[in-house]
Chains A and B, each alone.
Chain A
Amino acid sequence: MLYLQDGSLDVPKILKEWHEEEATSNYGAFISFVGTVRSEDGIDGLSFDIYEPILQSWFALWQQKAKERGAVIKMAHSRGDVMLHASSYIAAVFSPKRRVALEFIDAFVEDFKASAPIWKYDLKDGKRVYAKERSTAINGSGILGEKQ
């Protein structure tokens, strides 16, 4: 389940919904990760662009990997502006036993940071500035650049 919405996420509501969705699915473990906008470098908040077609296929691959281990992954992410102390990202794994969920939440969130087609901007002094220094080139990038 991939859930995208404009603006900040209602964390208690989403986690409650996910918990209820799987309440009788016989999963022994439910591990969540919540990403919240912190105050640093004078920013007023963050803003996000998402390219949904590739995000959907990237997420479907992860869902398949989870299914092979008897687990399910859920993810929510914001589009547009999210101000300080609000949340823009939730990931959760449900699995029969804890070990699979613990491993998947780590691997999934790390690959999310490296591969999911989402672009982050700092909101500062009324401007929207691409967070270039904190961004990661997707594996296989640079093929259109000049050969060294």
Chain B
Amino acid sequence: MVRVEFLGPIQKDALALEITNLNELATILQKDEALKEWLATCAVAVNDTIVTSLEYELKDGDKVSLLPPVCGG
């Protein structure tokens, strides 16, 4: 099971999904109309490291985080 967390202003509870890579996650999340706008601008981290390829393989226990555009300071 992979845990998917939505950070900052994305008002959505975490999901627990049976997925093996980020391509599968993209397919699932794109079906959620409320998330579509966020997906185009969110960065993705696996176990708190930013990743930039959809081919990234996921294993049981991994944590995926979606990080929307930032503005500290």
Instruction: Give the interface size class of chain A.
Output: 35 or more
Minimum C-beta distance from A86 to chain B (A):
13
Instruction: Count CB-based A-B contacts (< 8 Å).
Output: 118
Q: Is B50 an interface residue (CB 8 A)?
A: yes
Q: Is A121 an interface residue (CB 8 A)?
A: yes
B71 touches A141 (CB 8 A): no
Minimum C-beta distance from B11 to chain A (A):
10
Residues of B within 8 A of A141 (CB): 41-43, 67, 69
Secondary structure class of chain A's binding surface, majority of residues: mixed
The distance in angstroms between the C-alpha atoms of A141 and B66, with both chains bound, is 9
Q: A57-B48, A141-B41, A144-B44 are in contact. Are A49 and B69 (CB under 8 A)?
A: no
A130 touches B9 (CB 8 A): yes
